[in-house]
Amino acid sequence: MRPLTETDIRASFVNCSKGEAKRIALPRDLADRPWPDLDFLGWRDPGALDRAYLVAPGGGDALVGVTLRIAAQQRGFLHRNMCSLCLTTHPGNGVSLMTGRRAGEAGRKGDSVGSYICSDLACSLYVRGLRTPDAGGPRETLSVDEKVERTRGKLDAFLARIL
């Protein structure tokens, strides 16, 4: 993914108003992100723990940004869940149900789409082996390139449901 600026990020959101996009708390470490290893930029709002944001390439130079709500959960450390994007298994609260309001009229009527996603939104790093979850999970025989392609496909499908 190419490095993104504040302007790029704020202009990308499709499921909130321009005013809401201006008020989103952006990550302060944009310059330090491992951009070549990211399939999307994802972060949680430090001031509102039930909110997260995701910005991904949308085709050509276009970007698709979505605001997400994180469902409240209390899971024990022995409980394991799998991310629906990168298929990484995490213990406890390492995976969260994240829902995004649909874009356009459907979203204004209250329709939303949800998916179980890594709570830290670091799917790109997990599939490349640059970060490992605290739990052992199933070992895959796919190459890194195949895992990246699968994750991108699942991300595109999730974003298409929001759009």
- pTM flag (> 0.85): yes
pLDDT tens profile 85-105: 999 988 888 899 999 999 988
Contact criterion met (CB below 8 Å) for 40 and 124: yes
Distance set, CA 123 to CA 11, 22, 134, 136 (Å): 23, 26, 14, 16
What are the backbone dihedrals phi and psi of residue 62, each rounded to the nearest 5 degrees, phi first?
-70, 150
pLDDT tens, position by position, 9-62:
999 999 999 999 999 999 999 999 999 999 999 999 988 889 999 999 987 789
In this predicted model, what pLDDT tens digit does every residue of 102-145 receive, in sequence order? Answer: 998 888 888 999 999 999 999 999 999 998 876 666 678 899 99
